[in-house]
Structure 1
Amino acid sequence: MTFSTFSKISIAALMIASTSSSATIVEFTTSQGNFKVNLHDETTPVTVANFLKYINDGDYNNTVVHRVEPEFVMQAGGFEFSGDFPLRSITTDSAIKNEPVYSNVRGTIAMAKVANNENSATSQWFVNLSDNSAGSASLDTQNGGFAVFGEIIEGMENIDTIAAIPRCNTIPMPDFTAAQCSDANFVPGTENFVTIETVIIFDATVNTAGNLAAIKNTSKTTAPEPTPPKSASGGGSIAWFSLFFTGAIALRRRFK
């Protein structure tokens, strides 16, 4: 074998190895600061591919954070503000197979889904603000376990800032007063929402998998289905938000 041939084979092998162990990094630009997520490409491939398709299609651009439960989750990826209530649902693709490989600890990103339907995730995702793996939340076990598919590697302080914004119902709404929240006829402006302006693939080539410190979900197959925590809006704690949101704003607003 010539040196040239050996070099070509080595380079090809390195390229394959790099591809197989790469972990895509995506960056969220929001009205309250940016954050980056390192995705588990290899171990949750269906979930990551689904998430990246929404990103590449631009579906997450100009959507809003529609739910915050302090010390629990920040949820987004499903709605946009088009000038009036209720928020408009974005177009979604088919639901995907659940991949509950990793534990729902603080700083992880996971898929939201419909109650009592393990394989129902489409576009909505949430960031765990606390360790929600067990206890009253038990996101590692309920509804088949919620699929963690990445970790926040930069900007978690900005997510905490969003979580601390006063809420109208469960929606974080900057510069929105209690009186405005209680007035069903008052329509807020774009500045009153936490807007996800863009989501881009920040790094799709560099091997970043070795920098992740993911915790495996080892409890899913042995723990019983828990009761959802009282702070949840139903649907296995992280249900889709459309039905709740449509009725809650129109019937009664509550500022927190």
Structure 2
Amino acid sequence: MIKKSSVKTLLTGSLLAFSLVSSFSHATVVEIRTSLGPIQVNLFDNTTPKTVANFLSYVNSGAYVNNVVHRVESNFVVQAGGFNYSGKFPELDSVATGTPVQNEPKLSNLRGTIAMAKLGGSVNSATSQWFFSLANNSANLDVQNGGFTVFGQVIGDGMQVVDAIAAVNRFNAGGALASIPIRNYTTADANNNVAVTENNLVIISDIVIIDATVATHPEIVPANNTLINSSNNGGSNSGSDSGGGGSFAWLSVLALIGLGRRIYRS
């Protein structure tokens, strides 16, 4: 069995100047280059300017080079932005994070949107982690933990790639990696101590700006979050932080039950 090893912190100083996000170029379209293909995302610069600026600060710093898609929940979310692969698994480097960004829950968490992950019970705690919605998650995520900030939408055939990632078998490597997609790998491989390599993980090689115009794709009209201000907004229904330890026993996707539909960052 793969032995337990803590996720180590990436010691870099490149992200310590996040207060200077205004110096970064605003971009409407970025391309997330994954092992299974590119995903183009139209960012909502004008609707969620603080969140877009925060995300682009990580993009421009190179924080997402060799980033790992570390969480998939079927018919719910695909999550990344927190950990980078540097040659070993399950040891991953945590992305160095800056000052959390103020929550901007203006848009609805529908299928194909990208939104920021947060600490459980902390509304303004988003830093580097983000997720794609695989389904209409508005009833949950538009209100949970103060609402989750949607800051972009997948365009073109990008959701085919997102769905392909979601279809990869998942394993429990403990802690924040409790539902990580691992390609071309079986429970028998894990039981026989077959090493997981870069070729098995869903890796984001980089995220790059492909259109720096602030107002492209005017045909995209995102749905507003109409639930956040309702009297029964469920703000106390916050996800718990799963950044702690846990067993590194490997389980097939069929054994991953009871994880709940909550969003958190580690």
Please give the range of the TM-score, normalised by the shorter of the 2 chains.
0.7 to 0.9
**Alpha-carbon shift at residue 61 of structure 1 (Å):** 1.1
Contact 1:23–1:208 (Cα < 8 Å) also in 2: no
For 1:187, the aligned partner's letter is A
Q: Which of the residues 246, 252, 255 maps onto 1:255?
A: 252
2:229 aligned with 1:218: no
- Partners of 1:208 and 1:248 lie apart in 2 by 46
Aligned to 1:99: 104
Aligned to 2:11: none
- Partners of 1:79 and 1:240 lie apart in 2 by 16
Q: 1:248 to 1:63 in 2, by over 3 A?
A: farther
The one-character-per-residue Cα deviations of 1:45-98 (angstroms, maximum 9, x if unpaired) are 110000000000000111110000010000000011221323221111111110
| Shift >6 Å, 4+ stretches | none
Aligned to 2:161: 158
Q: Matched residue of 1:100: which SS?
A: coil
2:183 aligned with 1:174: yes
Q: 1:225 to 1:197 in 2, by over 3 A?
A: same
* Bigger proportion of residues as helix: 1
Larger-gyration structure (1/2): 1
Contact 1:174–1:191 (Cα < 8 Å) also in 2: yes
Q: Which of the residues 185, 195, 211 maps onto 1:187?
A: 195
- Partners of 1:87 and 1:180 lie apart in 2 by 20
Which 5+ residue runs of structure 1 have no aligned equivalent?
Answer: 1-21, 229-234
Percent identity (aligned): 47
TM-score by length of 2: 0.77
Q: Which of the residues 31, 48, 52 maps onto 1:48?
A: 52
**Alpha-carbon shift at residue 180 of structure 1 (Å):** 3.0
For 1:140, the aligned partner's letter is D
Q: 1:206 to 1:200 in 2, by over 3 A?
A: same
1:1-256 map, 5 Å: 24-82=28-86, 83-134=88-139, 138-154=140-156, 155-169=158-172, 170-182=179-191, 186-205=194-213, 207-222=215-230, 223-225=232-234, 236=239, 242-243=243-244, 246-249=245-248, 252-256=249-253
TM-score by length of 1: 0.80
RMSD over aligned CA atoms reads 1.9
- Partners of 2:234 and 2:98 lie apart in 1 by 28
- Partners of 1:182 and 1:241 lie apart in 2 by 25
The one-character-per-residue Cα deviations of 1:9-64 (angstroms, maximum 9, x if unpaired) are xxxxxxxxxxxxx8610001111011100001011011000000000000011111
- Partners of 1:253 and 1:75 lie apart in 2 by 20
Which 5+ residue runs of structure 2 have no aligned equivalent?
Answer: 1-25, 173-178, 254-266
